[in-house]
Amino acid sequence: MSGIYIHIPFCKKACAYCDFHFSTSLQQKESLVKSILSEIDLRHHYLNDRKIDTIYFGGGTPSLLSEKETFLILEKIYKTYIVSNDAEITLECNPDDLSNEKLKELKRLEINRLSIGLQSFDDDELIWMNRAHTAKESEASVKRAQDRGFENITIDLIYGSKFSNLANWKKTLDKAIGLNVKHISSYNLTIEEKTKLGHDFKIKKEVAIDDEKSAELFLEMIDRLEKNNFIHYEISNFGKEGYFSIHNSNYWKGKHYIGFGPSAHSFDGVSRQWNVSNNSLYIKQVSEKTEAYFEKEILTEKERFNEYVLTSMRTIWGLDLNYLKTNFNSDFVKSFLNQVDTYIKLESVLRKNNIYTLTEKGKLLADKIASELFV
Ligand SMILES: C[S@@+](CC[C@H](N)C(=O)[O-])C[C@H]1O[C@@H](n2cnc3c(N)ncnc32)[C@H](O)[C@@H]1O
**pLDDT value at residue 48:** 84
Domain 2-251 has CATH 3.20.20.70: yes
328 alpha carbon to ligand 1 midpoint, in Å? 34
**pLDDT value at residue 264:** 98
Asked if 294 contacts 273 with a C-beta cutoff of 8 angstroms, the reply is yes
**∠ Cα 243 56 61 (to 5°):** 110
- Closest ligand 1 atom to Cα of 59: 3
* pLDDT tens per residue, range 111-162: 999 999 999 999 999 999 999 999 999 999 999 999 999 999 999 999 999 9
Q: Residue 199 and residue 195: Cα distance in Å, rounded?
A: 6
How far is CA 127 from each of CA 27, 135, 245, 251, rounded to the nearest angstrom? 26, 10, 29, 33
2-251 against 301-373: fold identical: no
**pLDDT value at residue 1:** 86
Ligand 1: does its nearest atom lie under 6 Å from the Cβ of 192?
A: yes
Ligand 1, residues 90, 158, 188, 209: which to mutate, most atoms within 8 A of Cβ?
Answer: 158
Q: Residue 144 and residue 121: Cα distance in Å, rounded?
A: 17
Q: Where are the alpha helices (DSSP H) in 162-210?
A: 166-178, 196-202
Asked if 375 contacts 332 with a C-beta cutoff of 8 angstroms, the reply is yes
**pLDDT value at residue 235:** 97
Asked if 10 contacts 64 with a C-beta cutoff of 8 angstroms, the reply is yes
DSSP per-residue codes, 73-118: HHHHHHHHS-EEEEEEEEEEE-GGG--HHHHHHHHHTT--EEEEEE
DSSP 144: H
Name the residue at shortest CA distance from atom 9 of ligand 1: 117
Q: Residue 146 and residue 138: Cα distance in Å, rounded?
A: 13
Among candidates 72, 105, 51, which has minimal Cα distance to 260? 72
Residue 367 DSSP SS3: helix
25 alpha carbon to ligand 1 midpoint, in Å? 19
How far is CA 78 from each of CA 29, 92, 154, 255, 320, rounded to the nearest angstrom? 22, 20, 25, 20, 35
**pLDDT value at residue 355:** 98
Regions in the chain scoring below 70 on pLDDT? none
pTM greater than 0.95 (yes/no): yes
How far is CA 189 from each of CA 143, 211, 278, rounded to the nearest angstrom? 26, 11, 25
Beta strands, E only, 235-311: 237-239, 256-260, 265-267, 271-275, 294-298
Q: Residue 110 and residue 90: Cα distance in Å, rounded?
A: 10
Ligand 1: does its nearest atom lie under 6 Å from the Cβ of 96?
A: no
What number of other Cβ atoms are within 10 A of residue 374's Cβ?
16
Q: Domain spans of the chain? A: 2-251, 301-373
Ligand 1: does its nearest atom lie under 6 Å from the Cβ of 126?
A: no
The CATH number of 301-373 is: 1.10.10
Asked if 266 contacts 260 with a C-beta cutoff of 8 angstroms, the reply is no
**pLDDT value at residue 49:** 83
